[in-house]
Structure 1
Amino acid sequence: MLDIQFREAMGRFAGAVNAITTFEGDQPVGLIATAVCSLSAEPPSVIVCVNKSASAHNAMLNNGYFGLSLLSPAQSHVVSRFTKQKGSERFAAEDWDLEGGKAPVLWNAPVGMICKIGNCFDGFSHTIIVGIIESISLCDPELNQCLLWKGRGLHQAVEYVSTH
């Protein structure tokens, strides 16, 4: 019963949709995640929580690097592709920078980062991964929209304009 209530409660939190990616050998692999947050500015670092049963989990740990791409509403097709495809089939060449060497990053994402794994912690069903940021790319500010996941669906944030 508590697990059902937990899922319902967490579904009421809006979370930014991110692609977490890496290479397994020379093949790109990845997953979609909302469990991402900043950790520290010194050194610049983030936390990602990855399900231990995810197909990219072990590849991330073995590679030692991951890419983090914040998705915009215009990139919702990436979520669909990751849901319907497996392994490297998720990565359409026109959407991804696959030449960076350490991890794939989505072209024109509002934010793209390459992170070196600094530490890992057990999080029950998940591994809590600390990524030390090595590089950041920011898209054109005009395209700086964030795709959100809430209540088992994709949403777009609405900009609040004060009337005062």
Structure 2
Amino acid sequence: MIRADDFREAMQRFAGPVTAITTIENGIPSGLMATAVCSLSAEPPSLIVCVNKTASAHDTILRQGFLGVSVLADTQMAFANHFARAKGPDRFEGALWCMQETGAPLLADASVAFDCRIAQTHDGFSHTIIVALIHDILLPNSNADRCLLWHRKGFVSLTAQEAENATAQ
């Protein structure tokens, strides 16, 4: 039997990109930070997003049926700290947000941002697994080099040399 503490320790060693998962309801933005995001398919373009059922934005995201997925650049560590610590709509202060087709807030200077509609949801025990169809992609010209990572309970980024070595392999 795997102990929950051992599982949590193992997952802390699993680096993942930091994403802001966002939606809006009655003009009030709602969101959370997540690392459980991955590509699903190119046809149709889609992502899998796993959201903890206890997260404050969980129910709002499901009610709205759409979400933004903004992958933070490694230059956005201060914003990431703010977004992770603030509550409710205060999370959105101090950053430029834009909206595309669905109306979900997308971080304008993210490394990349996806505008999505929920196609399916599945029970994932403590999380809801969301299959999200991508309706638009923002590929800004700046901040695209390296994404911010979450590793060992903290934000980290690759050095330029580490990123270059990874690209060369």
TM (norm. structure 2) is 0.89
CA contact (8 A) 1:113 1:135 kept: yes
Deviation at 1:119, TM superposition (A): 0.2
State the SS of the aligned residue for 1:75.
Answer: helix
Whether 1:160 and 2:164 are equivalent positions in the alignment is yes
CA contact (8 A) 1:28 1:98 kept: no
In structure 2, the partner of 1:41 is 42
Task: Note closer, same or farther for the CA distance 1:156–1:54 as it changes in structure 2 (3 Å cut).
Answer: same
In structure 2, the partner of 1:13 is 14
**Bigger shift: 77-86 or 32-41?**
77-86
Unaligned runs of 5+ in 2: none
**Bigger shift: 113-122 or 144-153?**
144-153
Tell me, in whole angstroms, the C-alpha distance in 2 between the residues paired with 1:98 and 1:42.
24
Task: Note closer, same or farther for the CA distance 1:54–1:141 as it changes in structure 2 (3 Å cut).
Answer: same
Number of corresponding residues: 164
Matches within 5 A, 1:26-37: 26-37=27-38
In structure 2, the partner of 1:140 is 141
Deviation at 1:94, TM superposition (A): 3.8
Q: CA RMSD in A?
A: 2.1
TM (norm. structure 1) is 0.92
Amino acid corresponding to residue 104 of structure 2 in structure 1:
A
Task: Note closer, same or farther for the CA distance 1:25–1:132 as it changes in structure 2 (3 Å cut).
Answer: same
Deviation at 1:10, TM superposition (A): 0.7
Deviation at 1:98, TM superposition (A): 5.2
Tell me, in whole angstroms, the C-alpha distance in 2 between the residues paired with 1:100 and 1:91.
19
In structure 2, the partner of 1:23 is 24
Q: Identity over the aligned pairs, expressed in percent?
A: 47
Deviation at 1:78, TM superposition (A): 2.3
Unaligned runs of 5+ in 1: none
State the SS of the aligned residue for 1:54.
Answer: coil
